[in-house]
Amino acid sequence: MRFLLSLVMAIPLTGQTYDVVIANGRVLDPATNLDGVRNIGVENGKIAAISAAPLEGRTRIDAKGLIVAPGFIDLHSHGQTPEAYRFKARDGVTTALEMEVGVSPVAAWYAARRGKALINFGATSGELPARMRVMHDTGKLLPHDHAVERASTEEERREIRDLVRQGLDDGALGIGMGIAYEPLATRTEVLGIFRIAAEHKTAVYVHMRSGGPVEPGAIDALEEVIADAAVSGASLHVVHITSTCIRETPQCLEMIAGARAHHLDVTTEAYPYTAGMTDISSAIFSPGWQARQGGTTYSDLQWAATGERLTEESFGRYRETGGMVAIYSIPEDIVRVAMTNPMVMIASDGIIENGKGHPRAAGTYARVLGRYVREEHVLSLMDAVRRMTVMPADRLGLKNKGRLAVGADADITVFDAARVIDRATFEKPAQYSEGIEYVLVDGTPVVNRGELVEGVLPGKGVRR
């Protein structure tokens, strides 16, 4: 009896006991520009209280001296496996979305992850996977043969459009398009896909037709998709602006700003690295790739499986078999152009398989916060967090994510601004970031005191 009494006494008379309380952290909410010490109460997967006064919780996280931010939303995460989700969580990401390539069929993809995911997941209705299926292409993530080597027939185009529509009806978050990977897709065909996005009042997430300085290059490609957005009324999100536009990145960003100033809904993103990565057997490496990649050569390519730099001979060999290769094509000052521009969202474009891949899969968010915010003062902490949270949430039309507000989903990342840093490198990509101390997904801790929590799978499918 005395024990019970003392337990009751411990609870403030006015208060409630929350599932989780994150106490005394410096709360950053870019949606409202809140930057102050607060306590956050989480109940049933939602943020139930944000208070300067103390709160009581069954689980208490001491966040004194730490930053409490909305969980990061990665718009461009090809890695959609338990392995990939672990690296994302340790990098502060609570929602990882496959928006560029997308998936098809959509319903089966979501069903396969239901109840089995560490973090929230979602995808676009993918035009590329639909095309690969309809045209019987044998590639895995990206087209490899039939969808590259010949144009689609009218019947195939109808089937592709039907699959894309079906994916949207099944809840996909928009349409994904990789025009560079389907070089024989005509301008009219691409516009047809934008029209479907417009019908469904959503966006096309696009890897543009061409990049770099040699015409037809980045500028032509951006003109194509901006025109498609203007003509159709669809929204447009241009993926990885730096790896596509390379030295033309400032001009590309100016064009996007101009389109926005004239009331088109156009957004973009970048990752904080000087190399991209893609499949060596894809159309990106068809003859003339060196000029299209801004003057790169064989030794600018690094084979992900071994870390070796390529020669003309090894390039030819690996192009036959296929596999992931890093391309050192993005100058550091161009990375900084993107990091400096408040319009550019942070997105990883990452994929990691059996510990092999690009370090961006594991380190994108901690690298921006550690290297570009803390060490080099390229952008402010609030600006960085905004571009990782509320900006992608708004792009997706998700009112309950990307913000710390009462009623919002309790996806929360707590990090040490003085220590946060990426550890993943091109040689050893499978290294967790440091300084991400606590991560909550739907109110459940998945990272606790800087370590992954075992045996929890709170991630939910995010749909339109």
Applying CB under 5 A, the span of 51-59, 60-68, 202-210, 260-268 interacting with Zn ion comes to: 202-210
Nearer to Zn ion, 19 or 269 (CB): 269
* Nearest residue to 266 via CA among 232, 237, 241, 291: 237
Q: Give the nearest distance from C-beta 417 to Zn ion in angstroms.
A: 31
Helix (H) or strand (E) holding 27: strand 17-29
Of the candidates 207, 358, 401, 403, which one interacts with Zn ion according to CB under 5 A? Answer: 207
Evaluated on CA atoms 219, 223, 226, 228, the torsion sign reads negative
In the bound complex, what is the minimum distance in angstroms from residue 186's beta carbon to Zn ion?
A: 20
Taking CB under 5 A as the binding criterion, the range among 9-17, 186-194, 207-215, 432-440 that sits at the site for Zn ion is 207-215
| Footprint (CB under 5 A) of Zn ion, residues 54-113 | none
Per-residue binder mask for Zn ion (CB under 5 A), 151-190, x = binder: ----------------------------------------
Q: Toward Zn ion, which CB reaches closer, 103 or 412?
A: 103
b or e along 362-399 (b: 16 or more beta carbons within 10 Å of the residue's beta carbon)?
bbbbbbbbbbbbbeeebbebbebbbbbbbbbbbbbebe
Q: What is the largest CA-CA distance in the chain?
A: 82
For 199, half-sphere exposure in the C-beta direction (CA atoms, 13 angstrom radius) is 13
Q: With CB under 5 A, what is the number of residues at the site for Zn ion?
A: 1
Reduced to 3 states, what is the DSSP secondary structure of residue 460?
Answer: coil
Q: Name the one range near Zn ion by CB under 5 A: 44-52, 135-143, 200-208, 401-409.
A: 200-208
Closer residue to Zn ion (CB): 161 or 209: 209
Cβ 178 to Zn ion shortest distance, Å: 6
271/365 with CB nearer Zn ion:
271
- Alpha-helical (H) ranges within 262-354 are 289-292, 312-321, 332-340
Beta strands 235-238 and 266-270, pairing class? parallel
Residue number, 242 or 444, with CB nearest to Zn ion: 242
Q: Least distance (Å) from Zn ion to the CB of residue 171?
A: 23
CA count, 13 A, side-chain hemisphere, 417: 20
Residue 209 binds Zn ion (CB under 5 A) = no
The distance of closest approach from Cβ of residue 240 to Zn ion in the complex, given in angstroms and rounded to an integer, is 6
Query: 118 or 324, CB closer to Zn ion?
Result: 324
Q: How big is the CA angle at 96 (ends 39 and 34), to the nearest 5 degrees?
A: 30
Name the minimum Å distance from CB 142 to Zn ion.
9
**Token pair belonging to 397:** 């039309």
Q: Which is nearer to Zn ion, 15 or 322 (CB)?
A: 322
| Residue whose structure tokens are 């901690």 | 366
Q: What residue number has its CB nearest to Zn ion?
A: 207
> Would you say 71 and 387 are in contact if contact means Cβ atoms under 8 Å apart?
no
Stretch that binds Zn ion, among 16-24, 191-199, 201-209, 305-313 (CB under 5 A): 201-209
Distance between CA atoms of residues 344 and 368, nearest Å: 12
Smallest distance, Zn ion to C-beta of residue 262, A = 26
Cis peptide before 105, with omega less than 30 degrees from 0? yes
The CB-of-402 to Zn ion minimum distance in angstroms stands at 23
Q: DSSP 3-state assignment of 410?
A: coil
Q: Which of residues 304-343 bind Zn ion (CB under 5 A)?
A: none
Q: Could you list the residues that contact Zn ion (CB under 5 A)?
A: 207
